[in-house]
């Protein structure tokens, strides 16, 4: 009986915490026209390239380096810069990219072009 009461109170606590958490990522929260997506892609790529350069000059290496610390440096700085921009469309676009392309400063335009709604 006691374990059932503990489990019920724990489930109620987790449910309340999940309901109180705001959703920062809206899957459709960015424009779907080609011009706007091109601008969002260039802004996001600029952030990734800046993070790669900063990590390279801090002797961590770039994202293409084999070091796990260099990849972590680029990922951390990119995430921090995107979040601090407070641009909801940029954050949604950044989260819509696949993980392997999100931090690749040499990714092709295919990734933003597939998000265009005709």
pLDDT at 42: 95
CB contact at 8 A, 74 and 103: yes
Tens digit of pLDDT per residue, the chain (118 long)?
Answer: 566 556 666 566 555 444 444 444 455 678 888 899 999 999 999 999 999 888 888 876 665 666 788 888 899 999 999 999 999 999 999 999 999 899 998 999 888 888 887 5
Name the DSSP letter for residue 25.
-
pLDDT at 23: 47
- 3-state SS of the chain: helix, strand, coil percent to 5? 65, 0, 35
pLDDT at 10: 57
pTM recorded for the entire structure: 0.71
pLDDT at 58: 80
């Amino acid at each position: 009986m006691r374990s059932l009461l503990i489990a019920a109170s724990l489930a109620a606590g987790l449910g309340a915490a999940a309901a109180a958490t705001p959703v920062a990522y809206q899957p459709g929260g960015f424009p779907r026209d080609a011009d706007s997506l091109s601008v969002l892609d260039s802004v996001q790529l600029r952030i990734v390239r800046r993070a790669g350069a900063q990590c390279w000059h801090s002797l961590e290496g770039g994202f293409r380096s084999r070091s796990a610390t260099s990849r972590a440096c680029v990922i951390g700085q990119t995430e921090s810069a995107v979040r601090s921009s407070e641009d909801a469309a940029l954050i949604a676009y950044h989260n819509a990219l696949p993980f392997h392309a999100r931090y690749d400063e040499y990714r092709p335009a295919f990734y933003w072009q597939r998000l265009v709604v005709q």
